[in-house]
Amino acid sequence: MNMEKILVTGGAGFIGRHLIKRLLKIPNLFIYNFDKLGYASNAAELNTYTDAKNRYQLLPYNLTDETIVQEWIRILQPDKIFHLAAESHVDNSIHNPKDFIYSNIVGTFNLLEACRLYMEDDFKFLHVSTDEVFGSLRPDDIETYFVETTPYNPRSPYSASKAASDHLVMAWHNTYKFPAVITNCSNNYGPGQHPEKLIPMTITNALAEKPITVHGKGENIRDWLHVEDHVNALLLVMDKGLVGQQYCIGGDGELTNIEVVYTICSVLDELRPEHAPHSRLIQHVTDRPGNDLKYAINPNKIQKLGWSAQYNFKDGIRDLIKGCL
Which residues are marked as active site? 131-132, 158
Run of H or E residues at 283: strand 282-285
| Closest to 195 measured CA to CA, from 187, 186, 205 | 205
| Closest to 79 measured CA to CA, from 228, 226, 206, 238 | 238
Are 227 and 287 in contact by the 8 Å Cβ rule? The answer is: no
Non-local (6+) Cβ contacts of 152 within 8 A are 133, 134, 135, 163, 166, 167
Are 173 and 243 in contact by the 8 Å Cβ rule? The answer is: yes
Are 172 and 178 in contact by the 8 Å Cβ rule? The answer is: yes
